[in-house]
Chains A and B, each alone.
Chain A
Amino acid sequence: MSRLERTIGLVLRVGVTASTVALAAGLVLEFMSAPGARWLLHAGVLTLLATPVARVTVSIAGYIRERDWTFATLTAIVLVELLASAVAALVFNKRL
């Protein structure tokens, strides 16, 4: 297994585990109407959304290290597309 593959596997595993724990804890607090529930739930969702972004970022770094410029560029385009969707969300937010 290549170094990049191992790193990607690790990023995905850590991201999913962290967000699942946060979401589960947040849901339990929500049922008890305890403070901090909202914060934990948002943190869990954001961690989940950040996981693929982190995976793409790690891939760019990996391809640069391997001097694979074609794939470094392609992966960078994917990252730009993900950032563009965040920008699109902000634009809609202003207008609505």
Chain B
Amino acid sequence: MIFAAGAVSGGFGALLGIGGGVLLVPFLNLVLHLPFTVAAAISLTTVIATSSSVSAARTGKQLINMRLGMLLEVATAGGSLFGGVTAQLLAQSTVQKIFGVVTAIVAVIMLTRLQRRNVILDPTIDPGVLGGRYHEEESGGTVTYRVKRLPLALVASFVAGNMSSLLGIGGGFIKVPVLNAWCGIPVRAAAATSAFMIGVTATAGAVIYYGIGQLVPALAAAAVLGVQLGSWGGMRFGQRASAKWLKLLMAAVLFAVSAVMFIRGIR
């Protein structure tokens, strides 16, 4: 059951470029009636596995901006540590309400980004210490970018890290739009760098859950294997599916999840 849930959420995650945690956590918590902390711990374990396997496959393609990633990890790991501690102190109903609000925000972000905006880039730009350049296969050119508004990127990373360990999600949906829209980073580089970072982010949270005994290894194993299979399948299918309809479907599902989670939190 958990294996299947992992496969489905991993598949959707890979299709949409978001972690599957936002679907996996509500399923484990609301359908299988696992305590929220147990559900979040399982989901964080799958986040580490996905981040590591995806980033291993991507190293050397210059899409991951490692320097920027390592710098922002200082903020995400700090946020995650804080979130992991907070998760132990808050009541389950409070965390469910926060989850409801956050998923609604994800759905809104997803709807506003239906028409993905292309950043116009000047190839002569100096990338500086934190910027980067990579070869884009679609256009056949080299994309060069410089990082702007670093403090904003750090704040967004801290918030993403905080939400990650509190809610058991990757947090990429918070960082990627901010890095893309305000910090001058092309969306593909932002997504790859975020995926690289969330392994470390989720570990800071998962270690706390594991140490307390809320991370149940057998359940985590089923979910990890399911997500690995699902994301593999999702990437295969992803090339053919219509991204726009998928995003609309996903936004609708997220709104529903958000509402159910919020109502459960109030009762």
Contact = CB atoms under 8 A, between A and B. Distances in A.
A71 B225 contact: no
Contact of B74 (A10, A30, A77, A88): A77
B81 A84 contact: yes
Interface residues of A, number: 49
A9 B204 contact: no
A90 B211 contact: yes
Given A9-B59, A74-B70, A88-B85, A51 B199 contact: yes
Interface of A: 1, 4-6, 8-10, 12-13, 15-16, 19-20, 23-24, 26-27, 30, 37-38, 41-42, 44-46, 48-49, 51-53, 55-56, 59, 71, 74-75, 77-78, 81-82, 84-86, 88-90, 92-93, 96
B43 to A, nearest CB: 13
Contact of A89 (B59, B66, B212, B224): B212
Contacts of A56: 73, 200
A82 to B, nearest CB: 6
A17 to B, nearest CB: 9
B88 interface: yes
A86 B211 contact: yes
Interface of B is mostly: helix
B196 to A, nearest CB: 9
B203 A82 contact: yes
A8 B59 contact: yes
Given A71-B67, A82-B200, 7 more contacts: A12-B55, A12-B59, A27-B218, A52-B202, A56-B73, A85-B84, A85-B203
The residue among B53, B206, B217 with the most chain A CB atoms within 10 A of its own CB is B217
A89 B80 CA distance: 13
Contacts of A84: 81
B203 A53 contact: yes
24 contacts: A5-B60, A12-B56, A20-B49, A20-B228, A23-B224, A27-B221, A27-B222, A41-B221, A42-B217, A44-B217, A45-B45, A49-B207, A49-B210, A51-B48, A53-B203, A59-B66, A82-B77, A82-B203, A84-B81, A85-B77, A85-B80, A85-B205, A88-B84, A93-B213
B144 interface: no
Given A86-B207, A93-B212, A1 B225 contact: no
A12 B211 contact: no
Nearest to A82: B204
Contact of B56 (A16, A88, A89): A16
B125 interface: no
A92 to B, nearest CB: 5
Nearest to B198: A52
Contacts of B49: 16, 19-20, 48
B52 interface: yes
A84 B221 CA distance: 25
A23 B46 CA distance: 12
The residue among B52, B66, B67, B88 with the most chain A CB atoms within 10 A of its own CB is B52
- Top 5 nearest A-B pairs by Cβ distance? A89-B211, A9-B59, A41-B217, A12-B56, A23-B221
Given A45-B217, A84-B81, A89 B71 contact: no
Interface in B199-239: 199-200, 202-213, 215, 217-218, 220-222, 224-225, 228
